[in-house]
Amino acid sequence: MNTPSIDLKQLLADAKETHPGAARAIDRLITLAPMFQSAARDMAGAYGETFLRRADDRVAEIDFLCNGDPEKFDEAIQAYVRFCLEFARKQAEFLKTGKYSFQDFDEMCSELYDDDEAVQSFYLFALLFSFIFSPNYYEFYDFFETEFLSHITDNGTICEVGCGHGVYLGQALSTHPKSQGVAIDISPGALEVAKRMLNFHKIASDRVDFAQDDLRKRLNRDKGMAHAIICCEVLEHLPDPQHALHELHRILRPGGTALLSAAIRMESVDHLYVFRTPEEVIEMIERAGLKLQASRVVPLAKGNMQDEEERRKLAEDPRVPVGYICRASK
Ligand SMILES: C[S@@+](CC[C@H](N)C(=O)[O-])C[C@H]1O[C@@H](n2cnc3c(N)ncnc32)[C@H](O)[C@@H]1O
């Protein structure tokens, strides 16, 4: 990102008063991993006060999951650092081979999703810090807040598939107090964390149904059961994302709204399906019967992301990994 130059020391001194959670996350990150200074500077420069406000919110959630233990908080930051380094290593390999390292979903399941310790102590904390320090996750959350929450009604069931930590569902149920929630994930460890996240957001337990289920198959849900669906950062984990989209379309009620995201030519610790372009994702969404209403592409590269033309050019560069998120309707 090309961003106004930020004096991190000054930012930290000011934020300690106004946004103590954000100041804590930045301080611990650059203390434990000084090479992340530019990431913190870039995010603060690009997104300003909103970055600090959102970081405060995420830190409160993370702190709750860590039971307020500062050592656990540091371990969570270190998980994020390891996750980013693993991403960089695997992405370099992907640019050489054109393939993601995982070729088999079941192998990924036994290495990660079935391992509660890996999911709870490494994976989900890394994702939660990504919402603070990684522009693709940050912008996905921004799209969720500005383009999804205000477009859904408060009179039905919000279903999150592949909920992971449950940040999106917790927020959606807080802002839509008359709605019920369904949290679905293949990983039992993730469902436990999502349950705690919804406790943090003070969502009454009788408002949410937590279920282990598999989006590779037919979900154990009736046709049209949800008026809103959230399925973020899941499609690229599946061997057949087209099947998953048909399934999401089946459980969405007519007139309902879906929030969908996908990682494009972007490796991670658990990516399986290589999307090459945003258009490929859009085609699949439309083939499933959903209508695109709004979307955003987020190239992970240096550049002025406020300039739409520059953003579009970067998104077209086949070497640049891209995050894609959209709102679609049935
Ligand atoms: C990258 S995380 C995304 C978490 C959250 N939605 C977010 O956007 O940060 C992917 C989640 O999808 C879940 N998942 C992967 N394959 C799945 C499947 N076949 N069925 C249901 N959930 C799945 C994983 O367990 C994990 O919690």
Give the domain CATH number at 164.
3.40.50.150
- Which pLDDT tens digit goes with each residue over 59-91? 999 999 999 999 999 999 999 999 999 999 999
Kindly state the average pLDDT of the residues 281-301: 97
Q: Find out whether 173 and 207 touch, Cβ atoms under 8 Å.
A: yes
Task: Report CA-CA distances (Å) from 81 to 61, 88, 148.
Answer: 19, 11, 30
Tell me how far the alpha carbon of residue 193 lies from the centroid of ligand 1, in angstroms: 13
Give the pairing type, strands 322-329 and 291-299: antiparallel
Domain end (from 74, 99, 133): 133
Quick check: 201 pLDDT over 80? yes
Q: Helix or strand or coil: residue 184?
A: strand
Q: Is 113 near ligand 1, meaning CB less than 6 Å away? A: yes
Q: Is 189 near ligand 1, meaning CB less than 6 Å away? A: no
| Residue 3: inside a domain | no
105 and 142 in one domain?
A: no
Q: Whose CA is nearest to atom 26 of ligand 1?
A: 164
Quick check: 174 pLDDT over 90? yes
Phi-psi region of 313 (alpha: psi -120 to 50; beta: other; left: phi over 0): alpha
Q: Find out whether 21 and 64 touch, Cβ atoms under 8 Å.
A: no
Nearest to 161 by CA among 183, 176, 180, 141: 183
Amino acid 3 reads T
Q: Please report the atom of ligand 1 found closest to the CA of residue 160.
A: 6
Tell me how far the alpha carbon of residue 165 lies from the centroid of ligand 1, in angstroms: 9
224 and 158 in one domain?
A: yes
| Residue 218: inside a domain | yes
Q: How far apart are CA 199 and CA 181, in angstroms?
A: 13
Task: State the residue range of the domain holding 296.
Answer: 135-329
Q: How far apart are CA 313 and CA 322, in angstroms?
A: 12
**DSSP tag of 155:** S
Q: Whose CA is nearest to atom 1 of ligand 1?
A: 233
Kindly state the average pLDDT of the residues 251-266: 98
| Residue 272: inside a domain | yes
Q: Is 127 near ligand 1, meaning CB less than 6 Å away? A: yes
* Reported confidence tier of residue 236, pLDDT bands at 50, 70, 90: very high
| Residue 63: inside a domain | yes
Q: Is 235 near ligand 1, meaning CB less than 6 Å away? A: no
153 and 110 in one domain?
A: no
| Residue 2: inside a domain | no
Q: Whose CA is nearest to atom 12 of ligand 1?
A: 162
- Which pLDDT tens digit goes with each residue over 106-115? 999 999 999 9
Indicate the top mutation candidate among 106, 109, 186 to test ligand 1's pocket, ranked by most ligand atoms within 8 A of CB.
Answer: 186
194 and 92 in one domain?
A: no
Q: Is 162 near ligand 1, meaning CB less than 6 Å away? A: yes
Kindly report the CA angle at 71 between 70 and 74, in degrees rounded to 5? 90
Domain end (from 133, 163, 182): 133
Domain end (from 101, 133, 165): 133
Tell me how far the alpha carbon of residue 243 lies from the centroid of ligand 1, in angstroms: 15
| Residue 1: inside a domain | no
Kindly state the average pLDDT of the residues 235-262: 98
116 and 144 in one domain?
A: no
Q: What is the number of helices (H) and of strands (E) in the chain?
A: 13, 7
How many domains in the chain?
A: 2
292 and 189 in one domain?
A: yes
177 and 44 in one domain?
A: no
Q: Please report the atom of ligand 1 found closest to the CA of residue 127.
A: 9
What global pTM score does this model have? Answer: 0.96
Q: Find out whether 19 and 53 touch, Cβ atoms under 8 Å.
A: yes
125 and 86 in one domain?
A: yes
Tell me how far the alpha carbon of residue 249 lies from the centroid of ligand 1, in angstroms: 18
83 and 152 in one domain?
A: no
**DSSP tag of 156:** S
* Reported confidence tier of residue 303, pLDDT bands at 50, 70, 90: confident
Q: Is 190 near ligand 1, meaning CB less than 6 Å away? A: yes
| Residue 61: inside a domain | yes
268 and 292 in one domain?
A: yes
Task: Report CA-CA distances (Å) from 304 to 38, 49, 51, 295, 301.
Answer: 15, 18, 17, 18, 9
Q: What is the pLDDT of residue 150?
A: 93
Quick check: 2 pLDDT over 70? no
Question: What are the tokens at 260?
Answer: 């969908």
214 and 115 in one domain?
A: no
Q: What is the pLDDT of residue 1?
A: 52
Quick check: 129 pLDDT over 60? yes
Quick check: 242 pLDDT over 60? yes
Q: What is the pLDDT of residue 7?
A: 87
Tell me how far the alpha carbon of residue 15 lies from the centroid of ligand 1, in angstroms: 33
- Which pLDDT tens digit goes with each residue over 18-52? 999 999 999 999 999 999 999 999 999 999 999 99
| Residue 26: inside a domain | yes
167 and 24 in one domain?
A: no
* Reported confidence tier of residue 4, pLDDT bands at 50, 70, 90: low
